[in-house]
Structure 1
Amino acid sequence: MRQNKYDDPGFYENYSRMPRSAGGLEAAGEWPVFRDMLPDLNGKKVLDIGCGYGWHCRYARERRARAVVGIDLSEKMLERARESTDDPAIEYRRMAIEDLDFPEGEFDAVISSLALHYVESFEDVCRKVHRILAPGGSFVLSVEHPVFTALAAQDWHYGPNGERLHWPVDHYFDEGSRRARFLGHDVVKYHRTVASHLNALIEAGFAIRKVAEPGPAPELLAKYPEMRDEARRPIFLLIAADKM
């Protein structure tokens, strides 16, 4: 199932108002940890899967990557990425993640930020990424945390006065699609356990280098007080893996 909610005008408008959309990487709570999990990009060819506005593509070039390719299914996202990029070493292509197709060993690093929980077969993506990575290449990804995706509601349990009491987790081992409400629209996300993420990478031939479940950076909590509850449960799962 290839989803393209970001070309829906209403969804895109709501997305564009999110702090991470307006403020870029520095407004993304997980960015400091994700950044530190990236390999040395100097002289490397990099692929960004689900590149969105192209923030990570431009960052890779700031870190002296030789060339960067960003793929996304949304034409609206790619249009914004191209408008924000003045660099011939960055190429944006319209491509569904499920259709990922590049020559074997084409890239030295592949990154993906908060896109792969929209893909039904994470195992298939891992196999494809492994094939297009050069030996010793790295795959660094972030997804919504399984604690966050287990229930389709993706919401707190509230007290009688509307206070957030706790984050409910149920049906954790029931992997598969979830019809969630995101930015005022119904979207399909795919829930899989932490173990399933790690084992898919291992079975594709990767060695896990690091796993992280970051909360918001302290400076973001100071700037965006509404993020304070994000430190009460994990919302992101970050994984760095290397092709052996």
Structure 2
Amino acid sequence: MRENKYDDAAFFEKYSRMPRSREGLAAAGEWHALRKMFPDFKDRRVLDLGCGFGWHCRYAAERGAASVVGVDLSERMLEEARARTDSPRVRYLRMPIEDIGFPDDSFDVVISSLAFHYIESFTDLCAKVNRCLVGGGSFVFSVEHPVFTAQGTQDWRYDAQGKPLYWPVDRYFSEGVRKAVFLGETVTKYHKTLTTYVNGLLRNGFELLELVEPQPDPHLLETCPDIMRDELRRPMMLLVSARKR
């Protein structure tokens, strides 16, 4: 079984108190950009990898998806997702993202939000996504930006007064395990370069449609300036839209 920090009771409680956990997509700084990259969901069969609380699953269903499958490793996440979901067209499966093995041409759209930095091989995953997507199918996802994951600790360097001085980038070309601190807990992530993300797609039957390094939603910059203003100093996320050839 892969590392499953989200089923740790103390960690999950902290995660559940985050604004994006309580308020959903509206509190996600990248949502204003990601939603523009999604295809038309109407009558589509959708797979969400690392679905968490099911926000994107419900979004797809609300926009007419024929069916939505959400996959996540955390039972606590899935319990919350099921409690918040009333659409019969959405179902949730517990499994590691890396272990998906759906039949060929099972889905028209595959999406994922901030999950792939928890898996070791993006290339292997691309091959599996390609198999379960129909020709011309959409693959849209967000990950933590390689600049954000490279150094490992995922924190600023501070001055004597505790003011952020700069974001350290180190070992960029050395891919692999990073021990990051998230919500006060040590979490295992996998740093990958931008080259790995792009070539993982191109070498596994996808064409790249759009790549976005999103700035925070202007509304959140106005309403949460103390939290969001430093997000303009370095990229935190990478959004990618691709299509199966």
* TM-score range normalised by the length of the shorter chain: over 0.9
Post-superposition offset of 1:228:
1.1
Say which is worse superposed, 224-233 or 133-142, in terms of deviation: 224-233
Task: Give the root-mean-square deviation of aligned CA atoms.
Answer: 0.8
Aligned equivalent of 2:224: 224
CA distance in 2, matches of 1:172, 1:5: 25
The one-letter code sitting in structure 2 at the alignment partner of 1:215 is Q
CA distance in 2, matches of 1:164, 1:236: 19
Question: Number of residues paired by the alignment?
Answer: 244
Aligned equivalent of 2:130: 130
SS of match in other structure, 1:148: helix
The one-letter code sitting in structure 2 at the alignment partner of 1:39 is P
Post-superposition offset of 1:91:
0.5
Aligned equivalent of 2:99: 99
Gaps of 5+ in 1: none
CA distance in 2, matches of 1:132, 1:112: 15
CA distance in 2, matches of 1:203, 1:68: 27
Please list the CA deviations of residues 54-105 of structure 1 after superposition, one character each: whole Å capped at 9, or x if unmatched: 0000000111111100010100000000000111100111111011111101
Post-superposition offset of 1:160:
2.2
Asked if 2 retains the 8 angstrom alpha-carbon contact of 1:2 and 1:98, the reply is: no
CA distance in 1, matches of 2:13, 2:97: 23
Please list the CA deviations of residues 179-237 of structure 1 after superposition, one character each: whole Å capped at 9, or x if unmatched: 11111111110001111100001001100000000011110112222111111110001
SS of match in other structure, 1:58: helix
SS of match in other structure, 2:179: strand
Aligned equivalent of 2:31: 31
The one-letter code sitting in structure 2 at the alignment partner of 1:207 is E
Aligned equivalent of 2:21: 21
Please list the CA deviations of residues 19-67 of structure 1 after superposition, one character each: whole Å capped at 9, or x if unmatched: 1101100100001111000111111000000000000000001111111
Aligned equivalent of 1:181: 181
Aligned equivalent of 1:192: 192
Aligned equivalent of 1:238: 239
Give the TM-score taking structure 1 as reference length: 0.98
CA distance in 1, matches of 2:223, 2:10: 27
Deviating above 3 A after TM superposition, structure 1's stretches of 4 or more consecutive aligned residues are none
Give the TM-score taking structure 2 as reference length: 0.98
1:152-167 equivalences under 5 Å are: 152-167=152-167
The one-letter code sitting in structure 2 at the alignment partner of 1:55 is W
Say if 2:127 is the partner of 1:120: no
The one-letter code sitting in structure 2 at the alignment partner of 1:160 is A
The one-letter code sitting in structure 1 at the alignment partner of 2:70 is G
SS of match in other structure, 1:204: coil
Please list the CA deviations of residues 100-138 of structure 1 after superposition, one character each: whole Å capped at 9, or x if unmatched: 111101000000000010001111110000000001001
CA distance in 1, matches of 2:37, 2:195: 20
CA distance in 2, matches of 1:31, 1:65: 19
CA distance in 2, matches of 1:118, 1:154: 14
